[in-house]
Amino acid sequence: MGKTPLDLVFNIEPNVFVSLEEYLRTGGYAALAKSLSQGAELSLREIINSDLRGRGGAAFPAGKKIEMVRGNAETTRYIICNADEGEPGTFKDRFIMTHIPFQLLEGITIAAYLSGASQGYIYVRHEYPEAQGILIKAINQAEEEGLLGENIFGSGFSFHLELFSGAGSYLCGEETALLSSIEGKKGRPRLKPPYPTQSGLWNKPTLINNVETLANIPKIIEKGASWYRSLGTEDSSGTKLISLSGDIKKRGLIEVPFGISFAEIINDFGGGPKEGRKIKAVNIGGASGVLVPPELLDTPLEYKACAQAGITIGSGAIFVLDDTRSILDNVQNRLKFFLHESCGKCTPCREGLRQADIILDKLIAGQAGVKDVDTLTRYTGAIQEASFCGLGQAAGNTLRSSLTYYREEYLACCQENRKSAGGEDLALMEETA
């Protein structure tokens, strides 16, 4: 999809499923061999110099996280690939797992070597049976070829990798809830610190990274940090996978270098809005992301620039809404999702989302007043500031941004502002009826 040149990190080809034979033929596992040959210190320095950041949403420096695990006195360490891709509108990790699984396995193995882990898990969401099947087969093939398991490449480094199937909870995408799930407990978040890099799986140092993050590593080791940095900008290196959907002509997964604007992504790769329609709003970052107006779409896809504009890149999902869409309907759809997925552990998330949903119901039905919009604004702040984990903190992003940029649409639903076709005050008519 689109016009991306085939010299990036993932080089997306929708109908190509790369086998182990093909992956090896095109240079696959050369990066692992190089890492084992030159040693962990040099390889880790390459990752740090590349400025690779976590692609799951937090954007924490990947090399720094590996270094934190490696620096522990405890020698029993684990690595977990977070493949619990539950963010609505996001399908980038699924592509990696189904189309280029060996690039992911190589990245996990290199990261395990650099961090000193000998056991790893890929935590895959329950709703991805196809991806699970492909990964299990790929793990078995890699073991048969000596690319996983004991004494890889005769280096003395051994690494065992298993697939763990989630049970359908969005919350398990949060790293500490994921740890609890693997340990056989309820998938609920833990208090931090301590962080997983210090005390993670079974209280041992644990490296947890997203699928896209780990799949970047082989290319960085193979081609070098300088090449990787040249793909993006000084602030944001490399490329980003974008799940593009909504009211546009072409939807799908694309790979773009950092620095490209959101307008370019939507118009050049997505073909722009459908005929006769205009863009009304764009949801960036999935359900936990923000809703922005068209005038912000010239913002470059870059961590610093997006932070200054109040945009969360998140998982890289972009959903376009045209002028036929209702902002309130869109916001409530996302709110109901979080209300359903909340574990109920903390009051701000559990009750705040419930009360926000009640207010939105009243607004959509035309039964709310301006004071309800003010109350909704206060609730949103409380949800974001006082929730225990990232689910509640991010659940208010769409609400907050929509109240900022589309407040007039909220106010237009209020009884004080509704007018009949003839200009009569509908609220007054209802009171006197």
Q: Output helix, strand, coil percentages for the chain, rounded to the nearest 5.
A: 50, 15, 35
Residue 167: what pLDDT? 85
Residue 425: what pLDDT? 56
Per-residue pLDDT of the chain (433 residues; tens, 9 = 90+): 444 445 899 999 999 999 999 999 999 999 999 999 999 999 999 999 999 999 988 899 999 999 999 999 999 999 999 999 999 999 999 999 999 999 999 999 999 999 999 999 999 999 999 999 999 999 999 999 999 999 999 999 999 999 999 988 899 999 999 999 999 999 999 989 999 999 999 999 999 999 999 999 999 999 999 999 999 999 999 999 999 999 999 999 999 999 999 999 999 999 999 999 999 999 999 999 999 999 999 999 999 999 999 999 999 999 999 999 999 999 999 999 999 999 988 999 999 999 999 999 999 999 999 999 999 999 999 999 999 988 888 899 999 999 999 999 999 999 888 754 344 555 544 544 4
Q: Phi/psi class of residue 89: alpha, beta or left (left: φ > 0; alpha: ψ in -120 to 50)?
A: left
Side-chain-side CA neighbours of 143 within 13 Å: the count stands at 12
| Residue 337: count of CB within 10 angstroms of its CB | 18
Q: d(Cα 358, Cα 367) in Å, to the nearest integer?
A: 11
| Residue 19: count of CB within 10 angstroms of its CB | 13
| Predicted model pTM | 0.93
Residues 104, 96 contacting (CB under 8 angstroms): yes
Q: d(Cα 89, Cα 103) in Å, to the nearest integer?
A: 23
Which among 285, 275, 365, 289 has a CA at the least distance from the CA of 317?
Answer: 285
Q: d(Cα 432, Cα 255) in Å, to the nearest integer?
A: 59
Q: d(Cα 154, Cα 325) in Å, to the nearest integer?
A: 59
Secondary structure (DSSP) of 131-190? HHHHHHHHHHHHHHTTSSBSSGGGSS--BEEEEEE--S-GGGGSHHHHHHHHTTS-----
Q: d(Cα 154, Cα 37) in Å, to the nearest integer?
A: 10
Q: d(Cα 213, Cα 259) in Å, to the nearest integer?
A: 18
Which among 40, 200, 198 has a CA at the least distance from the CA of 109?
Answer: 40
CATH of domain 240-322: 3.10.20.600
Hey, what are 354's tokens?
Answer: 């419930």
Domain ranges of the chain: 20-230, 240-322, 327-417
Residue 433: what pLDDT? 44
Burial of 410 from C-beta contacts in 10 A (0-12 / 13-18 / 19+): buried
Residue 246: what pLDDT? 97
Of 3.40.50.300, 1.20.1440.230, 3.90.550.10, 1.10.3720.10, the CATH number of 327-417 is: 1.20.1440.230
Residue 355: what pLDDT? 96
Secondary structure (DSSP) of 246-269? ESBS--EEEEEETT-BHHHIIIII
CATH architecture designation of domain 20-230: 3-Layer(aba) Sandwich (3.40)
